[in-house]
Amino acid sequence: MTIKERLRQIYTYFLNIRIFHLAHMDIDAPLPKTRDATVYIFRGLNIIGYVPTETNKLAFYMWSGFVNFFVTVYLPVGFLMSFLLRLNTFSPSDFFTSLQIWINCIGCSLKMFVFFFLHRRLIESRKFMDRLDVRIDNDEDRLVIRKIVAFSNRSLTLYSSLYLSYASSTFLVAVINSKPPYQVFNPFFLWKENVWKFTMQAGFEYMMIAFHCFQQALLDSYPVIFITIIRTHLHILTRRISRLGSISTMTSDERYEALVQCVLDHKNIMGLYSIFCPVISGTMFVQFLIIGLILGITTLHIFLFADRLAIIASLFYVASILAETFPCSFLANCLMDDSDRISLAIFHSAWHEEEPRYKQMICFFLQHTQKTLILTAMKIFPITLNSNINVVKFAFSVYTMMKQMGLGQNLQNVVGKDL
């Protein structure tokens, strides 16, 4: 084999490697299951120490304790200690960079704490997905399942890439300016003493923030994934109901049995919805509480203190913050509309000429599909686009209030001189 042929073979080999194969739709691959849409989510929960492995449990629990202590517990505490002990060493730009990350760290840690007690519900939800997969019996529905598996796993990949882009850009800006990216409190040594200690401080901070970003990506992508799964099976059920009256080859008994199966499908969808609601309710409640404040502080940072490099990093951060709530809010609105279409599909399913028991089942089905599937944050306010827009409005209110209070001049006097 010549060198040219060998290089071509190596090139072809790497071209065919697909590390994130579930994030791509392959028509020729075996039909995936609905639960495959959650594969990357549960792998991520395994990485952050929430879902244990089947083997090497001792090593897993040691890893879980290490990661969650430094990222979930120590990181927000370290930011707070930096504010209290090193306030006079911060420029206003450094102060805002650390402040916006600290607030987000507090929110992420609170969400991780809530998610720790509720994530097992997501594991239990897979049994409802398996029941719904049994009814996938035509090519159109199979294609839809392939699409949502690829979309769901791709969502986590994109969220992780977006958040890590902010962490990496902030890290590069800080290293160029010869400072650790976040100046997290370190009780063991001072990073200013020599280059080696500076490298250790900057590297350790970057690793913690990278894991923090991955935690945030998991928390923000799982609502998108599970809402998409519920919506997909609602669409499949709606089409299945619409076809009930149009299949002339079926006998009355077969049509009645098909209607009963549709009722059971709706029951499984409602079971999936009910088991998922408490999880998103707790985490999104915390998210909506902090996002307005974070956006207000970041806006103040961009317009008053940030240099060009810091503005670029902050814009990445704003994009990440908006990505935390907007997709979930948009899909929650779509879920409400999809759930309302079920009852319309039942009403227009050509039931008028059916036998009495069929009509009785239709009435029963209509009664149980009148409930709109609304996702709420701790049952206080709905998770909708309107709520998301109100949070953004609150962010500009925070910025206006801080500007009117003369916070910029006060920070220059208290925190240090502006760069």
Q: What is the pLDDT of residues 135-188, one digit of tens each?
A: 888 888 899 999 999 899 989 988 888 888 878 887 888 788 777 877 777 777
Integer Cα distance of 68 and 64 in angstroms: 6
Mean pLDDT of 97-122: 85
Distances (CA, A) of 352 to 284, 355, 356, 359, 366: 44, 9, 10, 8, 14
Q: Three-class SS of residue 378? A: coil
Q: What is the mean pLDDT of residues 63-68?
A: 90
pLDDT at 68 over 60: yes
pLDDT digits (tens, 9 = 90+) for 323-343: 778 888 999 999 999 999 998
What is the distance between the alpha carbons of residues 278 and 284, in angstroms, rounded to a whole number?
A: 10
Q: Shortest CA distance to 228 belongs to which of 375, 117, 381?
A: 375
Q: How confident is the model at residue 271 (pLDDT cuts 50, 70, 90)?
A: very high
Distance of alpha carbon 254 from alpha carbon 158, whole angstroms: 45
pLDDT the model gives residue 247: 67
Question: C-alpha 348: how far from its chain's center?
Answer: 36
Buried residues in 72-109 as b, exposed as e (16+ CB within 10 A): bebbbebbbebbeeeeeebbbbbbbbbbbbbbbbbbbb
Distance CA 239, CA 259 (A): 12
pTM: 0.84
Give 221-238 as a DSSP string.
HHHHHHHHHHHHHHHHHH
As a residue count, the chain comes to: 419
Does the pLDDT of residue 11 top 60, yes or no? no
pLDDT tens digits for range 332-377 = 999 999 999 998 888 888 778 778 888 888 898 888 888 889 999 8
